[in-house]
Structure 1
Amino acid sequence: MEERLVHDNEKAYYTLCLVISIITYLGLILSIIGIFYIIIGFIITIFVQGISVGHIRNNGVKLTERQFPEIFERARNIALQMGVSDVPDIFIVESGGTLNAFATHFLGRNFIVLYSDVVELSKEGHKEELDFIIAHELSHIKRKHVTKQILILPALWIPFLGNAYSRACEYTCDRMAASYINNSAFAVNALAILAVGKRLFVDIDIIEYIQTAKSESGFFIWLSQVLSTHPPLPKRIEEIQHFNRMIDVFKVTKVG
């Protein structure tokens, strides 16, 4: 089941990045001095990531059985349903109105960070949309996207390639999250919320949103997309809808 949820581009780009990275690592090792570059790069990466995670742990509010217990329980249930037995630490941080979330990994521990305005969705009756966002970040952990990026770091420095891999990973996580909450409509709602906010999303015409986005073209539109780590939201919504139709066809074919 899980393999069917993985976007084909993720597999292709990861394989390409892995081959390039292995060749780069071998070249650095054979040059002897390259070993020191690898060690220094690794130390810098750990140091920067450690400071970032330390800031989150110092200032964020950690979900526990006593701290936002309902959201904590829902997140734990989603994680267990997805087969993520080691439930990551989940923190809420103030976001200044930004709607976002992300997953990270540091020294063997996984973390999910939810921006406060995203968590407020649950307080305003949109619990399933928050479930999708949590499931999306859990999918990054399940697929080990963060740790894989460290492994293929040399390839990620190549212009456009690293971003292309990252966008493919986002498509995969959207698929997995929509599948595990078992409702593509809530998945579309969650992405619409990221597009126009937690109040205006109820009035958005999704079909019109997708069609008008397709009508926008030009060099800088293209450049913006290929330089981004995330696909445009209209494309993510359309991808979920398309994949959901494919799953429905598969189910009908299987029953027949």
Structure 2
Amino acid sequence: MNNQLVYPREPLLSASTLILGLLVWLILIIGTFGGALIIILLGFLSYLFTQSALIARIKGNGVELSAAQFPDLYAQFVACCQRLNIKNPPHAYLLSGNGVFNAFATRFLGRNYVVLLSDIVDAMNNHPDGVRFYIGHELGHIRMGHLTGHLLRWPVLWLPLLGAAYARACENTCDRHGLACSDSPTNAAQAIACLAAGGQRWQQLNLTAYYQQAQISSGFWSSFHELIAGYPWITKRIAHVMDREAKLLPRHKLAYLLAAFVPYTGRLGAGFGVLILIYIVGILAAIAIPAYQDYQTRIKIATAYQETTEIRTTIAQHYLSYHQIPDSLDSLGIKIHLTNGAQLLLDANTMMLTLRLEHGELYLIPEETADGQINWRCSGSADLKPAVLPPPCRSQH
């Protein structure tokens, strides 16, 4: 594959998202005992219905390009396929843009489609190279396999920084494909300019000044919003098309720190990404806060239980020496309050030691063994979760 047509960062990002996505799917499938396969099936069914609706709209409302239908556009399409060495050209359609200046590529059940929106074609009426740029850009998605593998990558495409970086790299690669279909970098840049200046004003756009404008998009907020978006700023796209080796100012470093917390949501936008972040934080808080509280409770109970070790030994030795239960803890010189505030209660009839804690009670029940020793059985009150009990108490709870 011609390396000039591929944005340098795309191969690494493509491999990373694919490998990580496969690993996550493998973990999900194993961890859910195959339950994740149901998610894949539901995802495919959702894709089947939504994508079939799009293809039906394209075929029902669009105009398929051919030697008999808009032969000028069809000739440009065929020429671009030849330049990119695409031996099996996809189906090409012209569809009303309703004010949208763009084109798109899509795929359904093994067939590829390129759709040109009428507004961009009309805007490029006197600029055939512009049409070829858009055709080449969309053919780039097909040639590079961007339309396949989404399901495999899906578990990691939402990850902050990574998903957006992969999407931007794909767009930069496709701009290079569009450039390959154009006769000059300036013509390709003028085609992109339509996205910024509109269907008429793009013809008066000063490309040099706009190229220089890319240098002011390195501020914090500009950097942040580009890092969480799937498209590079148009100023940068034009700069890279006009000069593939263009040296632009690096993004603001602090923007990476903030963007690392915002999930990538594709075309849904940054605001939706923040909502997803809040949702994730809420779920994690709902899980983490109770877990942390249980951890703290478990530490307090374990510390108090450990502190009763010598106390239980003293009580047992008194019983074995005098063959009677102590009247009270005071009679043994034992304080009824431990260092952490827990209270000890001794039953003078059964010698059961109760450890009264903030969250519940532990019952330490003595049992005399056949060899005349005292073992202590432990259990917790009903208001104590088994997970917060010390291991000796947990097994008997």
TM-score, structure 1 as length reference: 0.88
**CA deviation map 1:186-210 (0-9, x unaligned):** 1111011221023212221222223
Q: Which residue of 2 aligns with 1:58?
A: 60
Which range is displaced more, 99-108 or 33-42? 33-42
**Could you tell me how far 1:23 is from its partner in structure 2?**
0.6
Runs of 4 or more above 6 Å deviation: none
CA distance in 2, matches of 1:243, 1:231: 14
Matched with 1:18 is: 18
Q: Does 1:3 align with 2:12?
A: no
Q: Are residues 1:162 and 2:163 paired?
A: yes
* Helix, strand or coil at the partner of 1:231: coil
Match of 1:188 in 2: 189
User: Is the partner of 1:87 in helix, strand or coil?
Assistant: coil
Aligned to 1:42: 44
Residues matched between the structures, number: 245
Give the Å deviation of 1:35.
1.7
Amino acid at match of 1:52: L
Partner of 1:98: 100
Structure-2 change in CA distance of 1:158 and 1:46 (3 Å): farther
The aligned amino acid for 1:11 is P
Deviation of 1:220 (Å): 3.6
RMSD: 2.1
Q: Determine the C-alpha separation between the residues in 1 that align with 2:53 and 2:215.
A: 40
Q: Which amino acid aligns with 2:57?
A: H
Corresponding residue number in structure 1 for 2:115: 113
Q: What does the per-residue CA deviation read over 1:76-105, in whole Å, with 9 as the maximum and x for residues that have no partner?
A: 121123121221111112122221001011
Residues 181, 234 of structure 1: alpha-carbon distance in 2 compared, 3 angstrom cutoff: same
- Summarize deviations over 1:14-70 as a string: whole Å, max 9, x none: 111012111111112212212212222222122222222222222112112221111
Partner of 1:174: 175
Larger radius of gyration: 2
Considering fraction of residues, name the structure with more helix: 1
TM-score if structure 2 supplies the norm length?
Answer: 0.58
Q: Which runs of 5+ in 1 are unaligned?
A: 247-256
SS in 2 for 1:194: helix
| Identical counterparts, % of pairs | 33
**Range with bigger deviation, 40-49 or 102-111:** 40-49
Q: Supply the distance in 1 between the matched residues of 2:23 and 2:49 (Cα, whole angstroms).
A: 25
Equivalent position amino acid for 1:74 in 2: Q
- Aligned counterparts of 1:57 and 1:157: Cα–Cα separation in 2: 31
Alignment map for 1:120-135 (pairs within 5 Å): 120-122=122-124, 124-135=125-136
1:250 maps to none
| Alpha-carbon distance change, 182 to 148 in structure 1, aligned in 2, over 3 angstroms | farther
- The residue identity in structure 1 corresponding to 2:11 is K
Q: Which among 72, 80, 83 is matched to residue 82 of structure 2?
A: 80
Equivalent position SS for 1:7: coil
- CA drift of 1:241 comes to 2.3
Residue 93 of structure 2 aligns to a residue in which SS? strand
Residue 254 of structure 1: aligned partner: none
Greater mean alpha carbon deviation, residues 67-76 or residues 49-58: 49-58
Match of 1:199 in 2: 200
What residue number does 1:253 align with? none
The secondary structure found in structure 2 opposite 1:207 is helix
Instruction: Identify which of 73, 80, 85 aligns with 1:71.
Output: 73
Deviates more, 1:217-226 or 1:232-241: 217-226
For structure 2, the residue ranges without an aligned partner over 5 or more in a row are: 248-397
Task: Confirm or deny that 1:151 pairs with 2:152.
Answer: yes
Match of 1:225 in 2: 226
Provide the rounded CA distance (Å) in 1 between the counterparts of 2:126 and 2:206. 21
